[in-house]
Amino acid sequence: MRSDMHVQQGRSEPGPEIWIRGPAPLPEEPSPSPAAATPRRFSWVGVHGGAGATTLATVYGGQDCGRAWPGPADPQSVLLVARTHAAGLAAALGALEIFRRGAAPHGLDLDAVVLVADAPGRLPRPLAERVKVIESVIDVYRVPWVPAWRLGELGGQRPREAAALARLTGHSR
């Protein structure tokens, strides 16, 4: 038989000969669905005092690092937290600059910025424009004003406006 021929279903057709050495490999197991995967753990890092990192860690799970970088035993996936007032957004931009320059501790993975409303209602235009700047460089998750959280009532329903954050942290209902 010619080397450019192979037998297929009892007839010769042109093409390369194919030889398999040993048993054919078994197909790989399908990877578990994302819904079955364990929720990813995050370190919540407040970029200024009162940002809401403690509240978010309580409501959505993960490690509350306060205003410090995660330690070696903490999750290395970081969610930066800031309020939506002028000082909070400036602090968020400053923290993003630290990551951009490579000045954050080695091994940290910045996943997103979480912006917590500093008051009910819409943001004034100058603050909304700063949010757009942050959104242009990283994923941003918004958390609305939650009156119950202000009273320390953290066990209730999570705000539906923050459903994307709940999915990210594996705490969607």
Separation between Cα atoms, residue 31 and residue 24, nearest integer Å: 21
- The residue ranges of every structural domain in the chain are 40-169
Separation between Cα atoms, residue 69 and residue 153, nearest integer Å: 27
Q: What pLDDT band is residue 91 in, cutting at 50, 70 and 90?
A: very high
Longest dimension (CA), the chain: 85
Q: What is the mean pLDDT of residues 34-53?
A: 82
pLDDT at residue number 173: 54
pLDDT at residue number 11: 47
Residue from 42, 44, 41, 135 nearest 84 by CA: 135
Q: Which range has the top average pLDDT, 26-40, 58-72, 158-172?
A: 58-72
pLDDT one-digit tens code per residue, 113-161: 999 999 999 999 999 999 999 999 999 999 999 999 989 999 888 999 9
Q: What is the percent of the chain with per-residue pLDDT over 90, rounded to a whole number?
A: 71
Whether the model pTM is above 0.85: no
Residue 118 C-alpha from the chain's centroid: 22
**DSSP string for 49-61:** TTSSHHHHHHHH-
pLDDT at residue number 65: 97
Structure tokens belonging to residue 133: 């700047």
Residue 5 C-alpha from the chain's centroid: 53
Other Cβ atoms within 10 Å of 33 Cβ, number: 7
pLDDT at residue number 40: 73
Is 74 within 8 Å of 110 (Cβ atoms)?
A: no
Q: Which residues lie across from 6 on neighbouring strands?
A: 13
Residue 155 is classified by DSSP as: S
Q: What pLDDT band is residue 171 in, cutting at 50, 70 and 90?
A: confident
| Residue whose structure tokens are 């709940």 | 166
| Residue whose structure tokens are 């004034």 | 124
pLDDT one-digit tens code per residue, 17-33: 444 454 545 555 554 44
Of residues 162 and 3, which shows the higher confidence score?
162
CATH dotted code for 40-169: 3.40.50.300
Q: What pLDDT band is residue 9 in, cutting at 50, 70 and 90?
A: very low
Of residues 18 and 39, which shows the higher confidence score?
39
